[in-house]
């Protein structure tokens, strides 16, 4: 777990879409250098609203969004990208009529520095399946491959932080594992990860830290595996009755091996 300074954080963040109707009520989230931090919670908790506010797509009503200590609360989305924050939305995150290679070339326009072709080749090493399908139209890819392409394109400019909104949403169970494996591999290259995820068990098991949002407020915060085994989190969000011990695939308690992935 990172013990360094925060790369991305919110302080007392309040935001919403409709005048005088707040969705977020003073949310505070901290993402440290090199961490995987996950936001989980029930539908309507404000998870996507939170990351949209952090990425310049929804100006907060009050509070702050900070990037390496700089207040970016009022910065435009494109300016936040240039600072080093990449955002992958849940839907419509690839250009379906373009090839895989053309999608990656578009990502190169936002690249900080030179030699975009070398960067694309480096991305092919991280996502070998995309290299195999470089001439294929993005609209013909599987759901998992599209998600990988969306992440790959966002990584072309070499962001310091990658923000993912529901990366496993709508994927067949057989593809979910491959997407999470790529997220872990991205983190191992030094990229900090912040993700909103419906597959709470799988996401918490791989996260350095996590937050549980409910009704626009942060209800729980802690190490991912600690929250996975917390009786209050289990009862309120993971769907296991109080007193029951969540089991791992091998029959052990959740505090040891992680439970199997399940959409929440």
pLDDT digits (tens, 9 = 90+) for 122-156: 999 999 999 999 999 999 999 999 999 999 999 99
Q: Confirm whether 253 is domain-assigned.
A: no
Does the pLDDT of residue 72 top 90, yes or no? yes
Of 142, 145, 143, 179, which Cα lies nearest the Cα of 164?
Answer: 179
Average pLDDT, the chain: 87
Q: Confirm whether 232 is domain-assigned.
A: yes
pLDDT tens by residue, 151-173: 999 999 999 999 999 999 888 88
Q: What is the pLDDT of residue 2?
A: 47
CA distance linking residue 241 with residue 202, whole number of Å: 19
Burial 111-127 (b: 16+ CB within 10 A, else e): eeeeebeebbeebbebb
Q: What global pTM score does this model have?
A: 0.86
pLDDT band at 106 (very low <50, low <70, confident <90, very high): confident
The answer to which of 19-23, 130-134, 172-176, 197-201 has the lowest mean pLDDT is 172-176
Which residues is 193 bridged to in the sheet?
A: 36, 162
Q: What is the pLDDT of residue 81?
A: 93
Q: Give the structural domain span for 218.
A: 6-238
Q: Confirm whether 252 is domain-assigned.
A: no
**Structural domain total, the chain:** 1
Q: Confirm whether 216 is domain-assigned.
A: yes
Cβ–Cβ under 8 Å, residues 36 and 66: no
Q: Confirm whether 249 is domain-assigned.
A: no
Q: What is the pLDDT of residue 85?
A: 97
Classify residue 13 by its DSSP letter.
E
Mean local confidence (pLDDT), 224-252:
65
pLDDT band at 262 (very low <50, low <70, confident <90, very high): very low
Task: Output 16 or 3, whichever has higher pLDDT.
Answer: 16
- DSSP element (H, E) containing 259: none
217-222 sheet: strands from edge to edge? 85-88, 161-165, 192-196, 36-40, 209-214, 217-222
Mean local confidence (pLDDT), 161-189:
93
**What's 96's domain CATH number?**
3.40.50.300
The answer to which of 30-39, 112-121, 187-196 has the lowest mean pLDDT is 112-121
Mean local confidence (pLDDT), 202-222:
95
Task: Output 262 or 133, whichever has higher pLDDT.
Answer: 133
Does the pLDDT of residue 222 top 70, yes or no? yes
Q: Confirm whether 211 is domain-assigned.
A: yes
Q: Confirm whether 247 is domain-assigned.
A: no
Mean local confidence (pLDDT), 111-115:
59
């Amino acid at each position: 777990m990172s013990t360094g300074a925060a790369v991305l954080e919110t302080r007392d963040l309040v935001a919403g879409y409709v005048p005088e109707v707040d969705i977020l009520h003073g949310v505070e989230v901290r993402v440290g250098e090199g961490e995987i931090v996950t936001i989980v919670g029930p539908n309507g908790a404000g998870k996507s609203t939170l990351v949209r506010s952090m990425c310049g797509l929804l100006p907060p009503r009050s509070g702050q969004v900070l990037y390496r200590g700089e207040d970016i609360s009022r910065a435009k989305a494109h300016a936040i990208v240039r600072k080093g924050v990449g955002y992958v939305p849940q839907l419509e995150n690839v250009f379906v009529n373009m090839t895989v290679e053309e999608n990656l070339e578009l990502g190169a326009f936002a690249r900080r520095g030179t030699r975009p072709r070398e960067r694309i080749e480096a991305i092919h090493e991280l996502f070998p399946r995309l290299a195999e399908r470089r001439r294929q139209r993005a609209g013909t890819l599987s759901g998992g491959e599209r998600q990988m392409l969306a992440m790959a394109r966002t990584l072309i400019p070499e962001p310091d932080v990658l923000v993912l909104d529901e990366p496993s949403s709508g994927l067949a169970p057989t593809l979910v594992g491959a997407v999470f494996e790529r997220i872990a591999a991205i983190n191992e290259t030094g990229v900090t990860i912040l993700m909103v995820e419906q597959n709470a068990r799988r996401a918490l098991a791989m996260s350095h830290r996590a937050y549980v949002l409910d009704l626009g407020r942060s209800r729980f915060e802690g190490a991912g595996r600690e929250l996975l085994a917390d009786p209050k989190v289990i009862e309120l969000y993971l769907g296991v009755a109080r007193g029951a011990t969540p089991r791992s695939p091998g029959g052990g308690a959740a505090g040891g091996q992680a439970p199997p992935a399940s959409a929440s």
